[in-house]
Amino acid sequence: MKLEVIVDSMMQENTYIYYDEKTLDAVVIDPALSFDRQKKFIKDKNLNVKYIMLTHSHADHIGDVKELKKFTNAPILANIHEKEMLNDANKNLSSQFFPYPIEIEADIYVDEKDKIKMGEHIFSFINTPGHTEGGMCIRCGMEMFTGDTLFQGSIGRTDLYGGDYNKILKSLKKLAKLEEDLVIYPGHGPASTIGREKKSNYYMKLVI
């Protein structure tokens, strides 16, 4: 699988286009604030977007979901525990960030034990509440998209609706049990590995 990272200029949010070079099947993870660049890359590569996957539902991660769905006709996938926030523009903060509210119903809701297959690739989902109630990590092979649960050197804030500091620590403890060389791609900032974060991330050190 290959990865294109598109960083928006306003919130420095990472939109990920994760695709198979052979089949050209793709998923887009957390599309926000960069739709024109997403559209251009998808068209230039002739990608077939199979899923739009959301790690959580804050405005800076869902800003382009409606436009991208219209363009690709791909189903929207989110965690079952995030449904409330997806459906409420005040709780997902889009009513504050944008001149238009974003309220979305996902086409597919997943929980921790669920898996989605795309060709030879299997996506699994790890519930990681704390930043939001339905925050999750999306894993494929030895790569994982951590949203705003785990960053290089930090974690997501827990003072917004659905946030809970004790819950995010429990989520970090769960992630700390994964393979040391598992590569993580966070919602903001550069990539890292679980092993590197266990050695250098203050919050990960609290739970190991």
Residue 41: Cβ within 10 Å count: 18
pLDDT at 151 over 90: yes
| pLDDT of amino acid 113 | 87
Q: Could you give the 3-state DSSP secondary structure of residue 42?
A: helix
For residue 8, the one-letter residue type is D
| Dihedral Cα 31, 150, 201, 139, nearest 10 deg | -100
State the Rg of the chain over Cα. 16
Cβ–Cβ < 8 Å for 198, 180: yes
What is the number of domains present in the chain? 1
| Average pLDDT, integer, range 95-112 | 94
- 156-173 residue pLDDT tens: 999 999 999 999 999 999
Alpha helices in the chain, H assignment, sequence order: 35-45, 59-62, 65-72, 83-86, 94-97, 165-176, 194-200, 202-205
| Average pLDDT, integer, range 89-108 | 94
| pLDDT of amino acid 117 | 97
pLDDT at 11 over 90: no
| pLDDT of amino acid 99 | 87
| Average pLDDT, integer, range 93-107 | 94
| pLDDT of amino acid 24 | 98
Residue-range definition of the domain harbouring residue 65: 2-205
pLDDT at 9 over 90: no
CA 69 to each of CA 3, 66, 120, 173: distance values in angstroms, whole numbers, following the listed order: 20, 5, 23, 34
CATH number at residue 87: 3.60.15.10
Cβ–Cβ < 8 Å for 26, 121: no
| pLDDT of amino acid 189 | 97
The residues, any chain, with a CB within 8 Å of residue 117's CB and separated by 6 or more, are: 123
Give the pLDDT band (50/70/90) at residue 145.
very high
Q: What is the mean pLDDT of the chain?
A: 97
